[in-house]
Amino acid sequence: MNTSGGTRERKSDHIRYLLETEGDAIEANTLGFNEGRYESVADLEDYEALKSEARAIKEDAIERLPELIDELTETVEANGGTVYLADDAADANRYIREIADENDAERLVKSKSMTSEELEVNEALEADGVDVVETDLGEWVLQVADEAPSHLVAPAIHKSEDEIARLFNEQFEPDEPLETAEELTTFARDRLGELIVDADIGMTGANVITADSGSLMLVTSEGNARKTAVVPDTHVAVAGVEKIVPSVEDLAPFIELIGRSGTGQDITSYVSLLTPPVDSPVVDFDESDVALADRDDDREFHLVLIDNGRMAMREDDHLRETLYCIRCSACANTCGNFQSVGGHAFGGETYTGGIATGWEAGVHGQESAAAFNDLCTGCSRCVEACPVEIDIPWINTVVRDRINREGDDGRFEFVYDELVPDEEDTGSIDPQKRLFGNYETLAKLGSATAPVSNWLADLGPVRSVLERTVGIDRRRSLPAFERETLVDWFESRGPRVSAADAEREAVLYPDTYTNYIDVDRGKAAVRVLEAMDVHVRVPAVGESGRAPLSQGMIATADTKASRVYAGLAEHLDAGRDVVVIEPSDLAMFHSEYEKFLPETSFERLRDGSYEILEYVYGCLENGANGARLRTGDGGPDVAYHSHCQQRTLGVDRYTRAVFETLDYDVVESDVECCGMAGSFGYKQEYYELSMDVGDRLAEQFTAPEAQNRLVVASGTSCEDQLEDVLDRDAAHPVEVLDPRSRLH
């Protein structure tokens, strides 16, 4: 999809509007949920094992889905209910309207269900004159306000108490104006309570359905789902086919994980396990003096299972994982960009947050996913938060790649093609994406022509052309290229620890940024390694493929992966360790390369490559002399931000440990992502969002205990972002440890 200047501006206007209007409420709520998640999962005895168990159940269930649908249908029918398997939204809505019609339904009450939003069943029923009432308080607020949900679990998360009070006071004109959350809740409960007891049909969704018993699991806190399912005599449940698991016993891990992962509650107030038609008597206020126990109800139950693209997703090797999603919202709450803008920007027709790309592409089509897919920066913080271990960034990358390939050919200028020698069989891939995807070529060119390229890049007219043509925001400072690359420097300097004297041999991977731009941190890394008695080599190995991958250019990334492996294989064979400075490149070696390289190649590189501070930690543990590095004694006090992907890989702890061993005084940020995320922060349409995310980090580092410290970050982007938001210099940890360092 080709993003023109006009589209970019509209997008950035929309984001700015949301940042101003909804940003504060979204931020407060998502940060609360996210923090709650960390606390709540920490109480679990074996969180990782529980996630793997949940994952295995879903994998098996989706694999056996056709068989489970048949089993469930038989079970529900034997229980006395009916099952309807709807091909798509229109089919489902037609069936539900028929039920309403047969029951002469005047009112249908609903508990919260994203699947019903996907169907837009409210509109369908309302067209027939049925009064549809949302009973989840958040959904009801939105129904009254005529707005769309901004979050999978807490749909009205973008609205503050004051706004809701204003809305209710205007709409309902209560005798006493409503003010507090308590008053608003009481008002809503009373009003909805009356509507529920008078309803003809109750509609619920289902979080999970068990094939062996025909039971629905409904996870709620308010109690409205309980009333909705049991008070009226007719119950309609709508659920995607992917909600089915084989047996009741499979429910336990989902019960334990869903609340913790989503809102940080160990468990929600009510987990309903209903096997409809249920034994409970109908609560019928038309017969308000008949004892419940004396009733003899003939309850009606319809389970409407929705395909709507899901069976095709199941056949799609990349989208299939989406079907494991239990819609807990963890991927949204943990996402730096979501924390700033919420689901009204970070979402499609129905679904919001990280995994929404998969859902929207699967049920509504790529068009809907394309509108917000770019907001995933691939920071990967959601991966460890997901209770079913979905590689959400990968789904987003695949969909981005598919969007790139859509549309017509030949929209590119010849000159531009020269600059972007990628492997993409491009349809209408955005020039901005091609530029960032081919960053290595740009860096090579910039370095070869430095310093002229740097002067040029600083010129006002050049910046305005860059902004107009490829959307690089002119408020961002551009990186300055070095004439002498790290590889060249090392080649003329040579190693200072000979292989014969060395404790170990290592290959320092010259990532694009270190090689062409921040050559100093590469030199510092060489000196640190040599101080640990490591024989160092810096071979001319190319870009890892991270840059094209982040733009959804999978073919180019794949080719780069093969080239990098070819360049490193000999060293691995010789038993040399591969040491990586840039965490996003290490993450390629440790995760994404699994998709690009043969299994043994992937495993060899993964097992033989280390983040630089992880490597220093290993050297120190194995007897290297830490006193040969700069220690906290003469060194500065540090304010440290670890890198998002470094944290997901679990290697951030080594930087912490090395600083501790060497007696540094460190305060650390706990924000998930700096907001720069490679090229993201350079893009004109996302500049403000990126700065908003960065502000959370800036806030922590301008606090009294951090404001006078040296700012240290493990990632290139994080360093750039910190320099921009703080107006202070930032350094990589290895530059702090460099024996020659003078940083303060």
Partner 1 sequence: MSAESGSIRNRFEEALADLDVALTRTTPAAFESTLQEVVTEPVVGTPLPFEDVSLPEWVDDEPTPATLEAAMTSVTAASFGIADYGSVVLPSTSEGSEPVSLFPELHVPVLHERDLVADMPTAIERLGPELRDGGSAIVATGPSATADMGALVEGAHGPNAVHVVLLETGGDDE
Nearer to partner 1, 79 or 103 (CB): 79
Give the one residue of 55, 158, 327, 590 binding ligand SF4; rule: CB under 6 A. Answer: 327
Residue 276 contacts which entry, ligand SF4, partner 1, none (Cβ below 5-8 A, type-dependent): partner 1
Nearer to partner 1, 42 or 415 (CB): 42
Phi, then psi, of 222 in degrees rounded to 5 = -80, -30
Nearest distance from residue 200's CB to partner 1, in Å? 16
> Residue 14 class from Cβ within 10 Å (0-12 exposed, 13-18 middle, 19+ buried)?
middle
Nearer to partner 1, 189 or 411 (CB): 189
Residue 392 touching ligand SF4 (CB under 6 A): yes
Give the one residue of 96, 386, 526, 605 binding ligand SF4; rule: CB under 6 A. Answer: 386
Phi, then psi, of 306 in degrees rounded to 5 = -105, 125
Residue 328 contacts which entry, partner 1, ligand SF4, none (Cβ below 5-8 A, type-dependent): ligand SF4
> Residue 410 class from Cβ within 10 Å (0-12 exposed, 13-18 middle, 19+ buried)?
exposed
Nearer to ligand SF4, 331 or 624 (CB): 331
Residue 154 touching ligand SF4 (CB under 6 A): no
- Residue identified by tokens 């069943």 is 121
Nearest distance from residue 610's CB to partner 1, in Å? 38
Nearest distance from residue 556's CB to partner 1, in Å? 45
Contact status, residue 241 vs residue 310, Cβ threshold 8 Å: yes
Q: Give the β-pairing of 710-713 and 638-641.
A: parallel
Nearer to ligand SF4, 40 or 609 (CB): 40
Nearer to partner 1, 193 or 567 (CB): 193
Nearest distance from residue 156's CB to partner 1, in Å? 6
Nearer to ligand SF4, 354 or 522 (CB): 354
CA 185/CA 213 separation, integer angstroms? 35
Residue 730 touching ligand SF4 (CB under 6 A): no
Nearest distance from residue 116's CB to partner 1, in Å? 18
CA 660/CA 631 separation, integer angstroms? 10
Residue 86 contacts which entry, partner 1, ligand SF4, none (Cβ below 5-8 A, type-dependent): none
Size of the site for ligand SF4 (CB under 6 A): 17
Nearest distance from residue 359's CB to ligand SF4, in Å? 9
The piece of 239-247, 384-392, 467-475, 579-587 that touches ligand SF4 (CB under 6 A) is 384-392
Contact status, residue 397 vs residue 555, Cβ threshold 8 Å: no
Residue 355 contacts which entry, ligand SF4, partner 1, none (Cβ below 5-8 A, type-dependent): ligand SF4
Residue 388 contacts which entry, ligand SF4, partner 1, none (Cβ below 5-8 A, type-dependent): ligand SF4
Residue 325 contacts which entry, ligand SF4, partner 1, none (Cβ below 5-8 A, type-dependent): ligand SF4
Amino acid identity, position 718: C
Q: Which of 276, 272, 250 is nearest to 78 (CA)?
A: 276
Nearest distance from residue 258's CB to ligand SF4, in Å? 8
Residue 428 contacts which entry, partner 1, ligand SF4, none (Cβ below 5-8 A, type-dependent): none
Residue 52 contacts which entry, ligand SF4, partner 1, none (Cβ below 5-8 A, type-dependent): none
Amino acid identity, position 228: T
Under rule CB under 6 A, which residues in 173-192 are in contact with ligand SF4?
Answer: none
| SS3 category, 520 | helix
Nearest distance from residue 55's CB to ligand SF4, in Å? 10
Residue 156 contacts which entry, partner 1, ligand SF4, none (Cβ below 5-8 A, type-dependent): partner 1
Q: Where are the alpha helices (DSSP H) in 309-423?
A: 310-315, 330-333, 336-341, 356-363, 366-370, 381-385, 392-405, 414-419
> Residue 273 class from Cβ within 10 Å (0-12 exposed, 13-18 middle, 19+ buried)?
middle
Residue 395 touching ligand SF4 (CB under 6 A): no
CA 247/CA 157 separation, integer angstroms? 34
Residue 328 touching ligand SF4 (CB under 6 A): yes
* Cα–Cα separations (whole angstroms), residue 450 to 97, 254, 365, 580, 678: 69, 56, 45, 25, 22
Q: Which of 578, 559, 232 is nearest to 424 (CA)?
A: 559
Nearer to ligand SF4, 203 or 332 (CB): 332
Residue 379 touching ligand SF4 (CB under 6 A): no
Give the one residue of 93, 116, 329, 716 binding ligand SF4; rule: CB under 6 A. Answer: 329
Nearest distance from residue 222's CB to partner 1, in Å? 4
Find out whether the peptide bond into 277 is cis, omega within 30 degrees of 0.
yes
Residue 390 touching ligand SF4 (CB under 6 A): yes
Give the one residue of 330, 624, 697, 731 binding ligand SF4; rule: CB under 6 A. Answer: 330
CA 116, 122, 127, 132 torsion: positive or negative?
Answer: positive
Nearest distance from residue 215's CB to partner 1, in Å? 5
CA 28/CA 688 separation, integer angstroms? 19
Q: Where are the alpha helices (DSSP H) in 373-478?
A: 381-385, 392-405, 414-419, 431-437, 439-448, 452-458, 460-470
CA 239/CA 216 separation, integer angstroms? 10
Nearer to partner 1, 275 or 702 (CB): 275
Give the one residue of 325, 478, 698, 734 binding ligand SF4; rule: CB under 6 A. Answer: 325
CA 121/CA 119 separation, integer angstroms? 5
Q: Which of 154, 181, 156, 179 is nearest to 169 (CA)?
A: 179
HSE, side-chain direction, 13 A CA sphere, residue 669? 29
Contact status, residue 359 vs residue 117, Cβ threshold 8 Å: no
CA 681, 685, 687, 692 torsion: positive or negative?
Answer: negative
Residue 631 contacts which entry, ligand SF4, partner 1, none (Cβ below 5-8 A, type-dependent): none
In the complex, which residues of this chain contact ligand SF4 (CB under 6 A)?
Answer: 261, 325-331, 354-355, 382, 385-388, 390, 392
